[in-house]
Structure 1
């Protein structure tokens, strides 16, 4: 039988044992949303912004890629909440929980991904593309509000991509370092599979990147890497009696 960690029997999220995103949501007074409600609110807020700006500036060609990015980011939020809650309910080694939640490495990885994208968008792409991505989306004179919303959505997406990558890497280290009872192994494999599912949702971004080879390789490479590392973590999980 899987053992619940005594500190988390009430499912209270303690700061230091959550990702930055969870800490921010948990710190908002009076806000107690279910996973479905939180995803719906996030999607509706961003999607409303996409549609309003498309109407205001006539940017209807940007609606579909914007909606896909919003949807993938919202899916990432749902995975983070389920993954975090499911992990805290298990009796897992403190070093693993500290690495996963307390190091904030997922934020660092998100920043690196976002800075890389911004550099590509404003420096590299205009030098090599016949029509830079910014111009393809918003025209020759991009409206400031539209660019602001695009960068906000992409930061949201980059942060969740960083979290997915960090969860996969730490999971592989966990599987190599520790053994667990059979029920905990089963639940950890389900959580790792959840991370794979989020990685695969990012394939939805690929059709918009066929003419941007650098971004295409970055996104596709990330999906393949997270999937491979997560599957390796699942495969190498060991039941205590096996060692």
Structure 2
């Protein structure tokens, strides 16, 4: 592990630390999706929360897509000759975790403090007036997974702008890094799939759309600054 210090996401480090677990990237993402989707369907079957299956499945799919993005980006970045200072900022600083925590705290505050002020809440619509604790716990776990991936997208976008200003790369390396930036934007746009489900939650829908727009703008600025 020492030879990869500062060159893995926290997510990769945790998975890699599980004894006896060594899965190819695609299989790891598939296992993640199947595991969480099984839990979503089990909660629906046990508690009758069938109206929560579609939004739950979308959230699980976004989290799995985020894992695929992180694993792909990590592998590709480690295959390039990049300054240690950049890779340590990208991976070793764990800023993506901090940003994920911030987005998760804001989301939980919205769900349990802001949303109840308007009467019919998102959680009430999904789980009724007396939600089962295991279902809410699973919801928060999946939402944390999504928020962590969102934090990763933020950090990758910010560092894309910083990278273009602070470093100079050869043509092939620069092209590969910008391709990774495009994948980050693509992952952000994928998250727009949840917006139609938030028709009665305009503030939450605006936050998701604003996040996607922000990632796109930062990456675009990075491109322009290098032109």
TM-score range, shorter chain: over 0.9
Matched, 1:43 2:33: yes
User: How far does the alpha carbon of each residue in 1:131-184 deviate from its partner, in whole angstroms, 9 at most, with x for none?
Assistant: 111100000000011000000000000000000100000111001111111111
CA contact (8 A) 2:6 2:87 kept: no
CA contact (8 A) 1:121 1:133 kept: yes
Gaps spanning 5+ residues in structure 1: where?
A: 1-11, 239-243
User: Equivalent residues in 2 for 1:195-234 (5 A)?
Assistant: 195-234=184-223
* 2:81 alignment counterpart: 91
Matched, 1:166 2:155: yes
Matched, 1:193 2:182: yes
C-alpha distance in structure 2 between counterparts of 1:147 and 1:115, whole Å = 15
User: Equivalent residues in 2 for 1:93-242 (5 A)?
Assistant: 93-128=83-118, 130-237=119-226
Give 1 or 2: higher helix fraction. Answer: 2
C-alpha distance in structure 2 between counterparts of 1:208 and 1:199, whole Å = 17
Runs of 4+ in 1 over 4 A off after TM superposition: none
Q: CA RMSD in A?
A: 1.3
Q: Secondary structure at the match of 2:139?
A: helix
* 1:26 alignment counterpart: 16
Gaps spanning 5+ residues in structure 2: where?
A: none
C-alpha distance in structure 2 between counterparts of 1:56 and 1:133, whole Å = 20
User: How far does the alpha carbon of each residue in 1:190-212 deviate from its partner, in whole angstroms, 9 at most, with x for none?
Assistant: 11111111101101110111211
CA positional deviation for 1:16: 2.1
TM-score (norm 2): 0.96
How many positions carry a matched residue from both structures? 226
CA contact (8 A) 1:15 1:23 kept: no
CA positional deviation for 1:233: 2.3
CA contact (8 A) 2:26 2:68 kept: yes
User: Equivalent residues in 2 for 1:67-86 (5 A)?
Assistant: 67-86=57-76
TM-score (norm 1): 0.90
CA positional deviation for 1:13: 7.1
C-alpha distance in structure 2 between counterparts of 1:16 and 1:83, whole Å = 14
User: How far does the alpha carbon of each residue in 1:37-58 deviate from its partner, in whole angstroms, 9 at most, with x for none?
Assistant: 0111000010000001101111
